[in-house]
Structure 1
């Protein structure tokens, strides 16, 4: 039988199936159709009424009709799904307890090697979904999923009060359209973003509770990862993040108030940030959606405005003026 996954016995499903094709019948009439005892069919019909799969009409003897199948069975499916979700939540809580107990009993289990792509994806999803106060991350290629594919979920977390601090590598910022389609919207929703020319690894830290890093940044290295629980290694990763955060250059979110006559506009601030990050003309053009010619012209005009003869001098002068 097919409906046993919803908690229906073979006999219950047989009675319900017969009732669907024989509306407004008595228990005795349905018993003849099913080849069962009338008393047994009567008990099963009462159970179907209780579960919302059948309707009893008044009268002597009472007559029964099946509830519309797609409505009735869908309700059972939804109820079963709620139970599965509740069970899944309990499993997650038990796993947290298990990992904590294992970490104390076996310190070597503070680091768990994940070698399945689905396990890695699930671990990252669990870390970010369970965060209560802050997510810290290093963002750099290579990518398994398209950059920005989790933007909606991140914005939902930020609206719940989960802070996001992300350091992007120069390559990540230069990813075509990344600033306008992903990083910009994230920052407008509250993300604090900075950029470094290079990052030593990819990293996600959830609160001060756990982190995940790839096994390697080489080709194929994303198919394995380390899940790191509370331990000295996690403390070391947190310290690494904070050190890189202090050295990183803040990205502009494009929401600054209208610039005063002697201050740069939003696009100029974005350009300065990318210049300070060491991006090439081509990378800046891809990031901001400009042509290379427009980018070169804007850089040349900016250097003239700052009285700078080199990019480094332009970045230094802009920083002294408070433009960065």
Structure 2
């Protein structure tokens, strides 16, 4: 085995360079007088004595007998085992030291950083923060929308202004959104007409607005939002990634609320609204209220639409309306 390789192995076991040089000389010359090892290793008397003492202590060389100058290496099994254990202990101590140092760093430095990943916004600060969110969007906004609503009179105007800037806006509405008095006419339909992509689910898991890939606004609870008036601002982290994934899965499962609105031959706007509301799962009472008609008039219009589409029931009417381009 090349001396360089042996020397590197001994250094990895923790021997200093002087001891390695002496051991290599022993392998080549011993048994030999210590003075001969001195010449081969290039060490002087004091350095040689110290290096050879290291080898003896490590169990790799025999101790020189009193009055004798002959030295030689000894079978290294026991010595190497001791060196290996000692080296392993040093590595473990180093691992613990470095790990402890990082833990201290994490507590002192990263803790402050992690505290900024989720910010709690309450009360009157919510309105300005939400307006800033819409204004800061550059590419897209993803939203879960459901009552109860914060009292933000400018919310619809902010959404329309964002759409006008070319920002994509995808919203999953809960059925309650469509049934909330005035919400469909005053907020939902204007945004859809302005280019918003809307879908509907029976319910949404949380009130949520995701601004680009930058951050999210989250109400603590749909049921408690009107009581606590509290919102979380979630910065980029694993939680934000989970919220984005939740939205995308819900979007895939949701029913499109609004598609093409024209058909050869035309369809009255009131009938289009009726079909949109039906597709969104609104109840008859809600549809009648939003259209400003009685339940009897509503049923009559449904019968006319089913007759035009050749449908025997509402389910068939929805399918035929989609095929005809009315939904």
| TM superposition score category, shorter chain reference | 0.5 to 0.7
* 1:183-236 Cα distance to aligned partner (Å, 9 max, x none): 222222222222222211211111111111111122445422221111121111
* 1:167-193 Cα distance to aligned partner (Å, 9 max, x none): 221121222333332222222222222
SS at match of 2:301: helix
- Cα 1:179–1:217, aligned 2, differ >3 Å: closer, same or farther? closer
On the 8 A contact 2:146/2:176 being kept in 1, the answer is yes
2:50 maps to what in 1?
A: none
2:184 maps to what in 1?
A: 179
CA distance in 2, matches of 1:275, 1:160: 31
Q: CA deviation at 1:252?
A: 3.3
On the 8 A contact 1:178/1:287 being kept in 2, the answer is no
- Are residues 1:232 and 2:238 paired? yes
SS at match of 2:119: strand
CA distance in 2, matches of 1:103, 1:281: 55
Q: CA deviation at 1:280?
A: 0.9
CA distance in 2, matches of 1:311, 1:302: 10
CA distance in 2, matches of 1:175, 1:218: 15
Which runs of 5 or more residues in structure 1 are unaligned?
1-101
Choose the corresponding residue for 1:208, options 209, 213, 231.
213
Q: CA deviation at 1:296?
A: 2.0
Q: CA deviation at 1:105?
A: 6.1
On the 8 A contact 2:174/2:204 being kept in 1, the answer is yes
Cα RMSD of the aligned pairs, angstroms, is 2.7
- Are residues 1:144 and 2:150 paired? yes
- Structure 1 segment 26-45 matched on structure 2, within 5 A: none
On the 8 A contact 1:213/1:225 being kept in 2, the answer is yes
CA distance in 2, matches of 1:189, 1:323: 18
Task: Identify which range, 178-187 or 164-173, moves more after superposition.
Answer: 178-187
2:264 maps to what in 1?
A: 260
CA distance in 2, matches of 1:289, 1:193: 23
SS at match of 1:200: coil
CA distance in 1, matches of 2:223, 2:110: 29
**TM-score when scaled to structure 1?**
0.59
- Are residues 1:283 and 2:289 paired? no
SS at match of 2:223: coil
The size of the alignment, in residue pairs, is 218
Choose the corresponding residue for 2:118, options 100, 111, 114.
111
On the 8 A contact 2:177/2:184 being kept in 1, the answer is no
**TM-score when scaled to structure 2?**
0.59
CA distance in 1, matches of 2:227, 2:242: 22
CA distance in 2, matches of 1:284, 1:222: 31
Q: CA deviation at 1:264?
A: 4.5
CA distance in 2, matches of 1:221, 1:269: 36
1:161 maps to what in 2?
A: 166
CA distance in 1, matches of 2:196, 2:111: 34
CA distance in 1, matches of 2:316, 2:132: 45
Q: CA deviation at 1:281?
A: 0.6
* 1:59-105 Cα distance to aligned partner (Å, 9 max, x none): xxxxxxxxxxxxxxxxxxxxxxxxxxxxxxxxxxxxxxxxxxx8896
Which runs of 5 or more residues in structure 2 are unaligned?
1-108
On the 8 A contact 1:113/1:227 being kept in 2, the answer is yes
SS at match of 2:192: helix
Q: CA deviation at 1:108?
A: 5.3
- Cα 1:224–1:181, aligned 2, differ >3 Å: closer, same or farther? closer
